[in-house]
Each structure stands twice: as C-alpha cells, then as structure tokens.
Structure 1
Amino acid sequence: MAKQAMDNELRIEQLWIPDSLDAADAADFLAAVEVGRKVRMQTWGSDDLAYAPLEKLLELADPYERQVILVAKLAGIIVGTVDIALPLTDNLDVAEFTLDILPEFQRRGVGRQLLEAAEQLARSEGRSMILVDTNHPGASLHEFEAAQLVPGTGLGFVPLASREVEFARSTGYELQHIEQFSSCTLPLDSKLVADLEAEAEQANNGRYRLHHWTDRCPEPWLEAVAELENQSGEDAVPSAAGEDELVFDGVVLREAEEATIAQGRRTVVTAVEHLPTGTLVGLTTISVLAPRPDVVFQDDTVVLQEHRGNKLGLLIKVANMERLTEQFPDARVIYTWNAPENRYLLTVNQQLGFTTAGVTGIWQKELPDMGPSVS
C-alpha cells in the first residue's frame, strides 16, 4: 500500500531550463543537478564525476545534440532525473539516457516510471534505439565477481547481482559492451616522466616531432587533425548507435572548437609529426572544465596504423599530461574510459600510473515500431 500511495503522488514532468543560475526560476534546475551529484557520491565516493550547475547549464547549449531532462517529483521535491540526449548531426535514430535516482528512493519504482516516460518521449522524437549506461566501482566488481554478465564482445563484465544490472535487464535492455574507467593522480612524478620520455624517444629514433596547442588547432594542421579525428571514430569500438558518425573537415573542426569553448571547456592537445613526410600521424587531447579545473578528462588518443609500434601513444600522452600541469596547475586527477579491446592504450595508461576505478556498462534497447498513427 505504501508503494501504491507513492506511485499515486509521483509526478513526472519536464525540467525548466533557466536563463541563468541566479534566475528566480532556477531552483528546480539546481535541485536536479544536485540529484546527480548525490548519485555519483553514492557510486564513486566523490563528486568528481558530477556536473557543476554552471557546467550543466552551458552543456545544454550544445549545437550537436538536444537535451531534454525529465524529473520525478514527490510532494514537490525532485527525487529522480533522466537526461535524454538526442544527437542532431549523426545517429538520428538514437537517444541516450542518464538516469539518476536519489539513494533513499531507489527500488521504489521511481526509476521505472522515469524510464518509461523517457522512452515515450524518445519515440515521439523519432528515436528507436536507446542507450543507457550503468556504473560499477572497482570494489563492487570484486564483491560480485562470482556472478558476471559478459557483453557480446566477450571482454569485461558487469556484476550480475548489482541493483543497476538487475534494473537494466528487467526493463528490457541488453549489455552491448564495457568501458574500463581509470584515474591517475596529478602531477606525474618527474622521474617517471623522464623514464617514459626516454623510452618513447628511443623507440621512435628521432623520426618524429611534437606539436602543442590549446583550444584551437593551428591553421596549417587543420585538415590533418580533422582526418585524425575521423580515424579516431573508425578505431572506436562499434556501438549500437550505428555507423552514421559525424565526419570532420576543417570547417566542422572549427565549429566543434567554438562549441567546446562556448561550453566553458578548455582543450590541451599534443600532436606528433612524421618528419620524413611532414604529416601529422597522431594526437591526444585532454579536456579541462572551467567550473572545476581540478578534475580533468583524457579524451581521444589516436595514432595512424602505419606508425604504430613506435611508442608514439606513450610519447604524446606523457608530453600532453606534462603540458596540462604547466597550464592548469590546479589539476589533481585525470579520468579516462577505454574499451578492454584497446590493450595498447590500457598498457600505456598503466605505465603512466592510471589505476582501474571501475567499469561502465553500455546497454541498448530497440523500441518497438508503433506503426502509423490512427486518427
């Protein structure tokens, strides 16, 4: 009866997005962001991965995807949220959900009602493929190690008995693949840096030169970087989202840079040139969030196939992390996600001092075709 009473009182509504955090109508937005922070505190033991209110507000202006946020209210208090991301330039059949329920309201039907409402909205937007993720800290992997759910790729696992996995399976989602989540304390030890740089330099034998920039790519390298970004997309583990990925050229890259800057993000880049040909053959990027410069994120690292085996991934990542520390001395931790298939980068990360913090499971559900509407 208690659950039935709660169900009757629970209201699902779309979150109003204020013009600013100081606006009179910003209270619900701030409360919704706080729900996400509390969930990440519960999962990871810190709020490093939580959005700051300003960061979330800026992200909602992303020109490459539209976001709709639904909230669950109980007696006027927001107890759960689902962020619905709708890509606008590629994967136009996809919607990505981030579902957060306050710890004290989990296992009470709030998540199921929010998820059903989000699926209905996605279907109304013409989206048929839904992606959601579940997050599992390292301690939980050991706790539930005896019962594992392995994705179709055959690599990695999520704990079968965890609440998140039980919920995803019970609502019709299938596990597609795993991403390993790792962290590294900054700054790097100076002796470690020297040793790794020497190792990488010895392997490439003076045939390569590094280039650095922040936020905007120098004009002479623009098309080359666009090609490397396209290669990075091809190298990624295939997702359920399909193959219609955004294709970069110089114009698209410049637009992406401006959108990133507008969202309050800084980008530290190191690229590597092959001296005999004068072409860029690899690059790596780190994102710094203006509201939280102490927590940074390793983004793409790509090296062209024909230049692999020369420890260029190690060379550019060490150099970029050093440059990050010079430009953003407040950075204390860097986070990254990698597919278990990417053995080389996982090995490089281990050399740099990254340790596994947990895994993220990527789940998929195809919504049934409802057919033409009848009036």
Structure 2
Amino acid sequence: MANDVRIEQLWIPDSLDGQDAADFIAAVEVGRKVRMQTWGSDDLAYAPGEKLLEMADPYERQVILVAKVGGEIVGTVDIALPLSDNLDLAEFALDILPEFQGQGVGRQLLEAAEHFARDEGRHTILIDTNHPSASLGDSEAGQLVPGTGLGFVPLNSRDVEFARHSGYTLQHIEQFSACRLPLDSVLVEALETEAEEANAGRYRLHHWTDRCPEQWLEAVAVLENSAGEDGVPGVDDTGMVFDGRILREAEDAAIAQGRRTVVTAVEHIASGELVGLTTISVLALRPDVVFQDDTMVLRDHRGNKLGLLIKVSNMERLSEQFPDARVLYTWNAPENRYLLTVNQQLGFTTAGVTGIWQKELPDFGPSVS
C-alpha cells in the first residue's frame, strides 16, 4: 500500500527547455506508459510538446494533479473544465503507473480531483475506461451494459471495478477503431465507383485544409448544429450553437496549437446546399498518427452513400498532403450502424471500446463516502 502519497497541482512550464519542465515531462510519461500497457502502443499518448500545446486550449481550462511517492510522479489526473458550454461539467483522465495500481493512489487522486471540480462549481463528472478488443471476448467474465445505447465493458476489468466503487455510473460506450494508411488504390477505386453510382451525379465534392472557404462558412455552421441535434448519449450538446464567427475562432485555436485539419464536404447540386462533411485532424508533432473527427450527412440526404463518398475522398487527400500518416483512429457510438459499416468497408478494424462514466457531485460534504 502506497501510504506516503502526496497530491499536488502540476506546474505547467512555458517551454520544455527549462529546469521547471522536469515534472511536466515526467507526468506526460506516466500517461505514455499507461497507454502502452492498455493498447500495446503509444499511438494514443501525448508527446510532452503536444501536451504543452493542448494546455493552451481556449475552450477548456486544463489542470493536472499528480500523485508523488518518494518524490517520484506515479499517477496523474487531467482535469478539463469546458469554458464555453457544459459549464457544470468536468472531465477527468486518470493514469496510474502499472506498478502502483491497486495501492490506493488512484482513489486519492480521484478524490482530490472531485474536490477541485466542486470548488470550481462543477458537479457533473465524466471519466472513461479503456478496454482493448482482446479483453472483450471472454463471455464468462460478465458484461456491464450502459445506461443508453449499445455495447458493454467487461465486468472483471480493474478499471470498471474502480469506477463503480468510486460511485460512477456507465453512461455509454464508444467503439474505437483503427485503419492503416494509405488506403489500397484498388479498394479506393471500387468504393468511389459504388458511392458515385448511388448518388447518380446529384452531388459535388469540395475540399479544404485548415480554413473553410468564406462561401461555405455559414453552411458548415448549419451542418455542425444539425449534428448536435442527432445527439450523443450521456452528454448534453445543446449548449453550443455554431455560427461563422465561432467556427473561425475554432480554426484559429487549432492552427495556434499546430493542428492541421483536412476537410471534404459535399454539395447537393440542385439546391446549392452543403449536406455533408467529414474532418481529419493531424497533430503538430505526431504526423504519423491521425484522428477522424466528425462525419455528418443531413438526414434528408442519407441513403445515397455520401458518407462513404466523402470519407474515401478525404482519406485520399490526407495521404496526399500528409504522406507520413500511417494510421487513422476513430471513435463511434456502437448504435451508429451506418458509419460503422462505412468504416468496415474502408478497412477499419475494432481496436477496443471506451466506457464513458458519470457521477453527480453533491454541493457539500465529502465527495466519496
């Protein structure tokens, strides 16, 4: 049992070059080791420079608490406090070095994070647990299903046991998938032909990188708002209403953090309206690992294989602009059968699931009984 645990707020340095950056670099390394343990790769881990860029996100206040044993950082909890919507929410990412798991370090860090969040006026807490595909196949282990949507997490997981014991309720599941890049050219040709036959020349593609052309700015805002109406289980997305100004601010923030954004949109030729959009993000310091962001098609235009059309095209453009990209990761709700089918056609394979857990903190008194 790690009795001499000291919890403190991590100092965020201005750069990685000074003496005061040592703890920050050590804290980021904890996250890398945990992701290596979970996924067998550090693809999903931050490099210290990338994490430093993320700390300047204008839409979230980011705070990191660390647990030290004998002066060494053995655990971290990242606390994200949204600043523009969901102002009652705090999201935690908890990482404990493998050799210090099961010793009470996580419990102490989580309690400290809950106290911090409540002092900031946040009462709804989200945490996640990550489960690689190999851990999902043992039907004997038992399954815990979420409050909304499909999917499950394994009951025998240490992380699941910890979340439940800490008073969190499983809200929903996100399926986590990976696709090797670049796509095979024969596959691309076959999928593009299939999609074009389905939409019969009624649609036209548009592409841009980083900044939306002025002519499509308000149309993209309409698309983003329509995606919010479709809803994500367990999260209230009604607070953020997009317009051209907000989209420009988001673009500026991404560019300031060194992120690149590859976008393909689709126009319905007869009406001149944008009816679909897909986006891939490329991190500043990690061009080999890229992330699929939103893919959306307006309800009235579904059934024309537009999702397939824009995703194939965008992945092709990504490989042209960023030839170092070797793997594309994406998260989807398991009930989004259409996009999961499209992803399967593109060659995505399921890497695992992420469970999203929620807890409501009281206004006063101890956060954990």
TM (norm. structure 1) is 0.96
Letter in 2 for 1:178: I
Q: 2:20 aligns with which of 9, 13, 25?
A: 25
Counterpart secondary structure, 1:25: helix
Question: Once the two structures are superposed, what CA deviation does each residue of 1:94-117 show, in whole Å capped at 9, x if it has no partner?
Answer: 000000000000000000000000
Match of 1:10 among 5, 29, 33: 5
Q: Does 1:281 align with 2:275?
A: yes
- 1:292 equivalent to 2:286? Answer yes
State whether residues 229 and 238 of structure 2, in contact with CA within 8 Å, keep that contact through their aligned partners in structure 1.
no
Cα contact 1:144–1:161 (8 A) shared by 2: no
Match of 1:364 among 358, 361, 365: 358
Query: Aligned residue for 1:106?
Result: 101
Match 1:50 to one of 33, 45, 53: 45
| Distance verdict in 2 for CA 1:52–1:102, change over 3 Å | same
| Offset, 1:165 | 0.2
> CA contact under 8 A between 2:231 and 2:237: conserved in structure 1?
no
Specify the code of the residue in structure 1 equivalent to 2:152: F
Q: Which residue of the partner structure matches residue 122 of structure 2? A: 127
Question: How far 1:245 sits from its partner (Å)?
Answer: 2.6
Give the Cα–Cα distance (whole angstroms) in 1 for the partners of residues 88 and 103 of structure 2: 31
Equivalent residues of 2:179, 2:329 under 8 A apart: yes
CA contact (8 A) 1:233 1:245 kept: no
What residue ranges of structure 1 are gaps of 5+ in the alignment? none
The Cα of 1:235 is off from its aligned counterpart by 2.0
* 2:285 is the counterpart of 1:309: no
Contact 1:145 1:159 in 2 (8 A): no
Distance 1:262 1:185, change over 3 A: same
Structure 1: how far apart are the matches of 2:100 and 2:338? 41
Distance (whole Å) between structure 2 residues aligned to residue 194 and residue 235 of structure 1: 31
Q: Give the letter aligned to residue 193 of structure 1.
A: V
Counterpart-to-counterpart distance in 2, 1:246 and 1:288: 24
Query: 2:174 matched to 1:165?
Result: no
Equivalent residue for 1:355, pick from 349, 353, 366? 349
In structure 2, what is the Cα distance between the partners aligned to 1:143 and 1:46?
22
Counterpart Cα distance in 1 of 2:218 and 2:280 = 20
- 1:155 aligns to what SS in structure 2? coil
CA distance in 2: counterparts of 1:238 and 1:175, whole angstroms: 11
**Does residue 1:246 correspond to 2:240, yes or no?**
yes
Aligned positions, number: 365
Q: 1:157-196 alignment to 2 at 5 Å?
A: 157-196=152-191
Aligned residue type for 2:60:
E
- Code of the residue aligned with 1:91 in structure 2: it is N
Is 1:258 equivalent to 2:238 in the alignment? no
Other-structure match for 2:217: 222
How far apart are 1:339 and its partner, in Å? 0.1
Q: Which amino acid aligns with 1:68?
A: V
1:66-81 correspondence to structure 2 within 5 Å: 66-81=61-76
Deviations for 1:202-234, whole angstroms, at most 9, x for unmatched residues?
000000000000000000000001111111222
Query: C-alpha displacement at 1:236, in angstroms?
Result: 3.5
Residue 117, structure 1, aligned to residue 92, structure 2:
no
The answer to whether structure 1 residue 320 and structure 2 residue 317 are counterparts is: no
**Separation (CA, whole Å) in 2 of partners of 1:192 and 1:15:** 48
**1-side partners of 2:91 and 2:353: how far apart?**
18
* C-alpha displacement of 1:243: 4.4
* AA of the residue aligned to 1:70: L
Q: Distance in 1 between matches of 2:272 and 2:140?
A: 49
- Rounded to whole Å, the distance in 2 between the matches of 1:243 and 1:47 is 30
- C-alpha contact (below 8 Å) 2:218/2:243 kept by paired residues: yes
Provide the C-alpha distance between the structure 1 equivalents of 2:94 and 2:19, rounded to a whole number of angstroms. Answer: 26
Structure 2 residue matching 1:334: 3-state secondary structure: strand
Kindly provide the CA deviation profile for residues 238-295 of structure 1, in whole angstroms up to 9, marking residues without a partner as x. 324x344311100000000000111111000000000001110000000001200000
SS of residue in 2 equivalent to 1:86:
strand
Conservation of the 8 A alpha-carbon contact between 2:65 and 2:109: yes
| Partner deviation per Cα, 1:117-147 (whole Å, 9 max, x = no partner) | 0000000000000000000000011135540
Q: Percent identity?
A: 81
Equivalent residue number for residue 338 of structure 2: 344
Per the normalisation by structure 2, the TM-score is 0.97
Q: C-alpha distance in 2, partners of 1:153/1:126?
A: 26
